[in-house]
Structure 1
Amino acid sequence: MSSVTETSGTERNYLHQLTSLRGVACLVVLFGHAIQVFRYQNPQRTGPQAAMHDIVTYAFNAEAAVVLFFVLSGCVLSLSLRKYTHLTGRIVGSFYVKRVFRIYPLLWFSIGLAIASMVVAREWVADGVFVGWLSRNLQTPVSIRNTIMSVAGVFTRYNGPMWSLRVELMYSVAFPFLFWLVRAPRLRVVTLAGLAAIALLPLPHEVGTVFALSFGVGALIPLLPTTLSPRHGIYALLALVVLLYDRYGLMAMGLNLPERIPDMIETVAAFVLIRDLYASGRQYRLLLNRPVIAIGELSYGIYLLHLPIMLMVFSMMGHVMGAPALLSHPSLTQAGLGGATVVLTTALAAITYNILELPLHNLGRRLGNALLAQPAPARPVSPPQGADTHASRI
């Protein structure tokens, strides 16, 4: 399989691990949705059974996985820009061209699939089966206006995961300026403090201001020294636990905090985890496993396409077996629905990757590089001897 990840020599292991991390995160989102978006009839459980159930289900923290995506995006976008001494208009223009060709083609395909899944779910599934936000999305009128706004990446009701693509687009526009701020050592602390203040603004979660900090700390990762404490591996392991279970811990303590607080906690945890992968040089066997790397390469497609496919699978299963029968056996339904969705979504993502995503992404690269070549490319910074350099997906 060809790759949309640009690799270079010794950088390959590092890039493979980041790619795999993205793949693991997208599977967490997928199974998280299988657990969270249907109104299951949860059976009575004893104390130990309830605790074990919570430990397993909260591990699929879809919200934390999306925060990890944003920190990871900040990191790899920073890698793509840090080689330039100055961000000229041509460099920024090339950056935008590549982002457009990276994000939009598969987004447009997913809109058609999402509309089809809405039609199927409306016809075959009764009211009261889906949680509130998904039920509202499924009742959204399919209109020319809504479709045009969806194609632009602004309207996200057709396909729930599109909200994070809107955030990605918003911060892609702002990223060259954000990168310029965090690259300047004298502005770094002030910038991060400002981003934290923006993240704390009491605005609706879907506006996306809380994720300013996620992109900011992600952009900082390649700009920091690569020397880590010998104990940083322990810190990374603790960060992973926090990333998965912070919401469970806050709930267990009876703390009803605004959504932006766990988002910020998860941003810090994701920063520690990704920085360890970037700077430690450790090689994790799981993340260097070929099937996991392949899932990572397909992760954008799996992320965008999984919910429409899951809705169609559930609708068909419910049409045959009856939705009440599925909802009354949550563990079996979640495992079966998640597994079937993984297989079908991965297959479709592999097809769209090879015939749509990769060719158009490569076209965007060529157009972006052509823009840099007229009249002459900006002079890259010469890295100091012994410094690690990484190419990245953009």
Structure 2
Amino acid sequence: MTGIPCALMRGGTSKGGIFLAEDLPAEPAARDDLLLRIMGSPDDRQIDGLGGAHPLTSKVGVVSLAGDDAADIDYLFLQVAVDKPVVSTSQTCGNILAAVAPFAIERGLVPAQGDATVVRVRMVNTGTVAALTVRTPGGEVTYDGDAEISGVPGTAAPVEVAVEPAAGALLPTGNPVDTIAGVEATLIDNGMKSVLVRAADLGVVGDEDPAALEGDADVVRRVAEIRAAAFPLMGIDGTPESTTTPKIVLLSAPAAGGAIRTRSFIPFRVHEAIGVLGAASIAAGLRVAGTVADGLAVLPPDGAPLRIEHPTGFLDLHVDPVPGDPGAVGETRVIRTARMIMDGRVHPRSSAVPTTKEHG
């Protein structure tokens, strides 16, 4: 039982297994079968694998050297469903992105360059390239530092993330507001396909705990209807059951000095914090005139970060405007942290289909 080389890492407010591509099967079906067995899916507790029984802790990053000079490494993100035998590549993840850059240095794919090393990462799921600055004092990655991010206890070394604009249309329909499933919504994609709606239009305040929203049958039903209606408008392939985008984000006026308050369905559970690229899409929605955020958002002075409030705190990020084009945005910049939790070998369960049993 030699196992498979694997690093268990926290990236931002997410956690998952990080692998070199060469250590996993190249054929997608075989790779996905293996990852389900590694993470312990399908099982509500993922008791027989690495998964943490929540979408935020059931993630995988696959890393390889980039195939061209546009990036240093390629990063494929896979969302492993907790309770279903599903592995999705329909989105990327900006939190796990913060982990793959130090991982690439640790694995020798990118040489350390003095006290800070820039790693150019191609997010294979979307084709977008991000530049991440990792602290490498003495030529080695450090995870120790004084950067704090909401949703993560303690402090760690900052990982500075700069993401180029998404290649596709910022507003897939060309409209700042569309009416879908009977609700006004902004369909937007600044790295994460998202549908922004006013919390009040779904009959909630916007300050509810994630569990309360997940337990509100009317809200869950309306979110599902909105999400299904957005699929053809956003050009998303697949079905609402098999694809993790778009995310549905409930917006309300800020309550703690930020620019906007959010609750994000990702897509069935409600995020305990917020995804980096989800926040980037929300921030773009604040910068574009005429969206559903108008009348709710409190924009900061020019040059100040946009503070996106979420259930466990906030996320600050900069989204550059494009001079002369109020309907576009430029680079997105944000600070994340990451940590190596375990570096070793993981032993997947056997390929036998798991049986459903009562947990005891």
Q: Compare the two structures and name the one with the higher helix fraction.
A: 1
Q: Which has the greater radius of gyration? A: 1
Q: Compare the two structures and name the one with the higher strand fraction.
A: 2
Task: Give the alignment's TM-score, normalised by structure 2.
Answer: 0.27
Greater RCO between the two (CA within 8 Å, min separation 6)?
A: 1
